[in-house]
Amino acid sequence: MSTATAPSAFSSFLARFRRAPSPSPAKPAGGGRRWLRVVGYVFYFLFAFVTFTYLTFPYDRVRDFVVHQIELAVPGSEVEIVSLEPAWVTGIEAHGVRIRLPAEPAEPPRPGAAPSTEPRRPVRPSVTVPYLYARVGILSYLLGTTEVTFEAELDGGGTIEGVLADRGTATHVTAHIHAVDLRRIGVLRHYVGFSLGGEVTGDIDLEVADEADATDGTIHLSIAQATVGDEQFTVPLPIPGMTGIQLTRIDVGALELQITVEDGVGRIEQLSGDGSDIVLRGTGTVRVNRVVRMSALDLLLRAAIQPAYLERNPVVRGAIELAGTNPLVAPYRAPDGAFQVRLQGTLGARVTALAAGSATIPQ
């Protein structure tokens, strides 16, 4: 018996009690690892790009652009911003935005008033926007167009949101106005001379270009529960020899304004208000200019005071009856007794009021 066979027999005997080796786990294919690596690189690039853009985006240029657009539209104005901070990636949030309008000549001293030792300073009205959000479109910015998406909360409530796109030779504005309280906009009282009430809602889609034939768009505004004046107020009259008339608050009702702009000329398609105290109608044109103060208007307005208002205000009724005998007032009155006036001039200069009692206004 050979000695070499003993270990072989013993090994064969032990092999019966050994466990079969478990199969090794399958290794992932090399292609799967590559895809995971590519996806990781993509997410890392996006994270780095967003972070880099957020930290290095020229927010100051956005602010300068907003300031420049306002000062371009209203020459001589000054814009102040209390705080400015980034929002998301390409946005900014501004608080306490104040627009100081161009200075106006100081009011002359009233007749009979004591002389003042202090120099009379020019009047400079202002508009305050408590909150303003603006975001710049990166793609449009790289293509040479500055596009700003904005949202503003006005003092006293109401919002204006939209998009402002500037291409150098033209500016396109789309905006939606929601529930803006006219009574809280003090600059209106400054220019009009008395308060205006109501909530403004509407849409603006307007392209204003250097070339008049490239300027077009639409403006549609609605004022709910529109009112004119306070409990007691004085309306200056554009009639020689008459300073003004004392009135009480006038209910204008729902006021509608629809303007269609073509080739730089805005035509008033609708200007109407059917209130319980007065019925308003209007027509005319506005030549739109990129500089708002240079826009010229030619408007024809008609105001028919209702009997219910005259019954509540016998003083006003007597003043109107007395004015009817004045030859200076007659050119302003239509055959049915309504008052009609034509307004001509530019927004940045004096607007002249002319008698238009014989003109025809679509009803």
Considering 138-142, 208-212, 264-268, 313-317, the range whose residues carry the highest mean pLDDT is 264-268
Tokens 């501004």 belong to which residue?
94
3-state secondary structure string, 45-95?
A: HHHHHHHHHHHHCCHHHHHHHHHHHHHHHCCCCEEEEEEEEEECCCEEEEE
CA 190 to chain centre: 19
Q: Which residues of 256-279 are buried (b: 16+ CB within 10 A; e: fewer)?
A: bbbbebeebbbebeebbbebebbb
pLDDT of residue 85: 76
Return the higher-pLDDT residue of 314 and 64. 314
Share of residues in the chain with pLDDT > 70 (%): 74
CA distance 222 to 136: 29
The secondary structure of residue 158, as a DSSP letter, is -
Q: Which tens digits make up the pLDDT trace of 265-314?
A: 999 999 999 999 999 999 999 999 888 878 999 999 999 999 999 999 88
Backbone angles phi, psi at 93, to 5 degrees: -120, 125
- Reported as a pLDDT band with limits 50, 70 and 90, residue 113 is very low
Structure tokens at 327: 């030859």
Q: What is the pLDDT of residue 112?
A: 47
Which of the residue ranges 97-111, 223-237, 291-305, 337-351 would you say has the lowest mean pLDDT? Answer: 97-111
Alpha-carbon distances, residue 176 vs 18, 112, 226 (angstroms): 83, 48, 19
Coil, helix or strand at residue 13 = helix
pLDDT at 123: 64
Backbone angles phi, psi at 133, to 5 degrees: -115, 135
Give the three-class secondary structure for 219: strand
- Tens-place pLDDT, residues 160-189: 999 988 888 888 999 999 999 988 887 787
- Mean confidence (pLDDT) of the chain: 79
Answer whether residue 12 shows pLDDT above 90. no
pLDDT number for residue 284: 96
pLDDT of residue 1: 45
Residue type, 120: R
**Among 158, 165, 159, which Cα is nearest to 135's?**
165
How far CA 53 is from CA of 32, 57, 59, 118, 342, in Å, comes to: 32, 5, 11, 53, 54
C-alpha span between 283 and 262 (Å, rounded): 16
- Sign of dihedral through CA atoms 326, 330, 336, 339? negative
Closest listed residue to residue 202, CA positions, set 187, 190, 217: 217
pLDDT at 344 over 50: yes
Q: Report pTM.
A: 0.71
Least confident among 48-52, 264-268, 281-285, 315-319: 48-52
Per-residue pLDDT tens over the stretch 220-277: 999 999 999 888 888 776 665 666 778 889 999 999 999 999 999 999 999 999 999 9
Residue 357 has which token pair? 């009692």
